[in-house]
Amino acid sequence: MVADTQTLDRIFSEARHLAPEYRLRLVQRIIQTLVSSSPLQEPQPLRFGEFGGDEAAMSTLEDFAIAEWQPTDEELDGP
């Protein structure tokens, strides 16, 4: 852990001496190591009842309406 911190400090120190365009290239290369090269999948919305089981009753739309936060004007305006 300390070695990682020291390495990062050394890299940061060296990067400060680079011209701005080279710092940008460094950032781009670092980002490339973080971003997955696999194509992104389309998000799949949850299907109603998908995780329901025989032992538990499913929540109704009324349950969601009861649980929904209904702020007062005072809560919205703050103290």
Q: How does pLDDT run across 11-32, given as a tens digit for each residue?
A: 999 999 999 999 999 999 999 8
| Residue 39 pLDDT class (50, 70, 90 cuts) | confident
Whether residue 79 lies inside any domain: the answer is no
Looking at residue 48, the DSSP 8-state letter turns out to be T
Provide the residue range defining the domain that includes 22. 2-34
Percent of the chain with pLDDT over 70: 86
Whether residue 8 lies inside any domain: the answer is yes
pLDDT in tens, 41-52: 788 887 776 666
Question: Is the pLDDT reported for residue 73 higher than 80?
Answer: yes
Whether residue 64 lies inside any domain: the answer is no
Cα dihedral sign for 24, 29, 33, 36?
Answer: positive
Whether residue 76 lies inside any domain: the answer is no
CB-based burial of residue 33 (10 Å sphere; 0-12 exposed, 13-18 middle, 19+ buried)? exposed
CB atoms inside a 10 Å sphere around CB 56: 8
Amino acid at 35: V
Q: What is the pLDDT of residue 47?
A: 76
Domain count, the chain: 1
